[in-house]
Structure formats: structure tokens, C-alpha cells
Amino acid sequence: MSKDYYKILGVEKSATDEDIKKAFRKLAHQHHPDKSGGDDSKFKEINEAYQTLSDKNKRAQYDQFGSGFENMGGFGGGQSGQGFGGFSGFNGQGGFSQDFDLGDIFGEFFGGGSRRSSSSSKTRSKKGTDIEISLDVDFMEAVFGTTKEISLKRIEKCKHCGGAGNEPGTKINTCSTCSGRGTVDRIVTSFFGQMRTQITCESCGGSGKMFEKKCTHCDGDGIVTSSSDVKVNVPSGIDNNQTLRLSDEGNVGQNGGGNGDLYINIRVKSHKLFKREGYDILTNIEVSFPEAALGCKKDIETINGKFSLKIPSGIQSGTIIKLDDQGVKKLESNSHGDHLVTVKVVTPKHLSVKEKKVYEDLLK
């Protein structure tokens, strides 16, 4: 019966070469016979499927004829099941070929340490991680902007040793085990024969350096966790749940990598009088029946101080009066929002005899 190599690897027939390679790596890691719970027969089946689908010519013939195509005339790839000499992951001599390196899959089975590339780990720069915090500001501070000083706990370069890791005045030597590379080669025996892999140097931890004496403050790490004060300029016009990003104010990078960033989520406190909608300020004002009927002037509070508001005669309850440019300054702009005043006509609950007579006369 023809085997479904695509099904064995768990990919679609339209899968790309990269999809097939990823699927193989995952399954090989899962079913390797040297791993606890591994399955030798399943591992061979996975290899057989990958051997075919990773080769452009073999895959084309498989798609046309199925898994029995190896025994057809004209195919030069050898019989299926005769070993893994044609497997594109290996060079036929028990070592790795250049197109597919499985050291990272088998490293944990044979080496114990994490696999490294040929370049020394100590030369790899790594950017520091970002930090996220929340900052509470008052309503008016968000409207007009402010400066806040916060205490931030983060990973920083050790000030005592300047990040070098050694106690000041002592020597830093090249690791004799790895000759400063940070990795060491190891030959391991596996299901496929002998393989060469690289693991992190246990003597120096991958740094390639050995300290005559480690820094007494950071124990040779070059970094410490400490608290420091950071000034935050809160811009005018910022709104609730908006985020500020302070570049390079996050955790320190490694091996010359840049610092991470600091992300600050702004939480704006509510105001007893004002409400905000975008860049507009919303307030309410109450007027009596006579004031609504005849019109009047009312002093109201705005974010910019008191303002004399003209109420036109005959105004209806729920009418909104707009004060242009009396709202919040827009971020990165010189323009402003508006102040929107909602007029509410108040119905009196208790009338004096005289007031009642007036309303009765008006009703007539």
C-alpha cells in the first residue's frame, strides 16, 4: 500500500520546502529513539517521508507515482529502506550535510548543553527587554501636561565594574577550555552514527572569558537589578489608557546590545466637574423656566477659567452650546478641542402661592 508521506509529516500537499523541514524537525525531536518515550519505527518512517519530500525530483515522482516509485526504472536515488545514505540531512558519512543541520534537535539528547552556532555566543549582542508600567495622573495634569518622577526597578549595567564582570583592578583572561569562543565541539554517537555538535562552554558559561576575581557586586554577570529615578514628561492632551514610550529606558542589553524601552500606560483620574470626550470637554448647566424663556447669562467653569455664557431666549432642555477652542490641546498640534455645554431646563418642584398664580396666568 502506498504511504502518504504528507500525512506522516502532518503537512498539506501544497506545503513549501520550509514547511516540510519544520514539520520534520518537530517530529524528529518528538520521536527520536534516544529520547525517553521515543519510537524507533516511527522515527524511521518520518525520515523516509522527509528523504523523499525534501528532494525536489523525488517529490515530483512521488506526487505522480506514490511511494512505490523508488522501484521504477530510471530513478537513481536508491531503494527505499536501504538505510539513510540518501537522506538530505546527512552526507552519507555519518556527519551533517550543509543544507540541513540537526545538531539543535539532538543536542539535548547527547550533549546536555544548548547547541550554539559556529560563531561564539559572546559576540552575539542582545537587546534588553522592555518594561511596562502604569502611571496615574490627575485630570488637569493630562490636559495641560506635567513632569513626573518615578522610581523604576530594572536591570542595569553594574556600576562597580562598568559591566565588565571582573573586580576592578583584576585581570580578565581568555577561557582556556574554549579558547575564547564560548562553545566547545563534542562528538556524539547516535542512531545515525557519529555526529559533531557544539555546546556552550561549561567553564565560562559561553562568555569566552575567565575572571581572576569576579565583581563583588554582580558576581561576574556585569548586570544588577536596582531601582533608579526616571523623569517622565507627560504631554498636554494625553488621554486615559494612552501609552508613552521612552526609548532606551528599559532593561540593559547584553554584549553591547541596546537597552529595551519603557512603556508607560497613562491612567487619568476623573474630575468632579469636567468630562472628556476625545479633545472636547463636556459640562452641564441648569437654567430655570424664566431664564430659558427670556434668556440670560451664566458664569461657567472651563479648563481655562471662568466664562460668561449667553443663554438665548426660548432655549430647549438638552440643547448643546459649543465654545470653540476651549477644549483640550491636541497632541503634537496647536489646535484645541471645544467645550460643549448641555443646557438642562429645571422644572420647579415646589411653588409658592405667588409663583403658582403666575404660572396659572401664563397657562391662561
- Local confidence band at 83 (pLDDT 50, 70, 90 cut-offs): very low
Residues of the chain with CATH 1.10.287.110: 5-100
Given a cut of 90, whether residue 96 has pLDDT beyond it is no
Region 271-276 average pLDDT: 96
* Range 275-363 classified under CATH 2.40.128.20: no
Strands (E), the chain: 131-137, 146-157, 172-174, 183-190, 193-200, 209-211, 223-234, 243-246, 262-268, 275-277, 280-287, 296-302, 305-311, 320-323, 339-345
| Grid cell at residue 258 | 541596546
Tens digits of residue pLDDT in 129-151: 999 999 999 999 999 999 999 99
Q: Note the pTM of the prediction, 2 decimals.
A: 0.59
Tens digits of residue pLDDT in 27-56: 887 887 666 677 878 888 888 888 888 888
Given a cut of 60, whether residue 117 has pLDDT beyond it is no
| Strand arrangement, sheet containing 131-137 | 131-137, 262-268, 243-246
- Alpha-carbon distances, residue 112 vs 63, 172, 184, 188, 239 (angstroms): 40, 27, 12, 11, 52
Residues of the chain with CATH 2.60.260.20: 275-363
Region 345-352 average pLDDT: 87
The fold for domain 5-100 equals Helix Hairpins (1.10.287)
| Grid cell at residue 151 | 522610581
* Range 131-268 classified under CATH 2.10.230.10: yes
**What is the model's pLDDT at position 72?**
46
Q: Tell me what the pLDDT averaged over the chain comes to.
A: 82
**What is the model's pLDDT at position 322?**
97
Residues of the chain with CATH 2.10.230.10: 131-268
Residue, of 185 and 99, whose pLDDT is higher? 185
**What is the model's pLDDT at position 287?**
95
